[in-house]
Structure formats: C-alpha cells, structure tokens
Amino acid sequence: MSTTSYGVTGMTCAHCVAAVSEEIGRIAGVSTVAIDLVVGGTSRVTVTSAEPLPMESVRDAIDEAGYTLSA
C-alpha cells in the first residue's frame, strides 16, 4: 500500500471535492481518496493506492476535474 498527499488549488465546495475524488478514483489501484478542503487555498488530497501512482496520472485526473495540482 502507498499513501501520498498532493496539494490542489481551485477547489471551493463539496462539488469540487466530489469531482476530484471521482477522477482520481478512476486511476487503477486507487483504494481511497480523502480531501481536506481549503477554500481559496491549497486543499490536501490524500490518496491510498496499491502502488505509488505516476505523477502524470494524478495531474491528468486533477486537470480533468478542472483543478490544478500545486508544486
């Protein structure tokens, strides 16, 4: 098991949380997605997966949801 946290900007509400959770949840091997929403700031997205995820896959999922993976 691998647990990694990412910073995501642009999220403002429960709909944002659901969109990001859904897109990341589609990545093969992901078992859970937990989000600590910070309105107007950088939200912390914690992902648990069978193996470490490629950063590009995570970035693509967050982009697809309409938000930005912060550096």
pLDDT digits (tens, 9 = 90+) for 1-36: 999 999 999 999 999 999 999 999 999 999 999 999
Instruction: Look at residue 67 and tell me whether its pLDDT is greater than 70.
Output: yes
pLDDT band of 71, cuts 50, 70, 90: low
Give the whole-angstrom CA distance, residue 57 versus residue 71.
15
Is the whole model's pTM more than 0.85, yes or no?
Answer: yes
Write out the CATH class of domain 2-69: alpha beta
What is the β-pairing status of strands 68-69 and 2-9? antiparallel
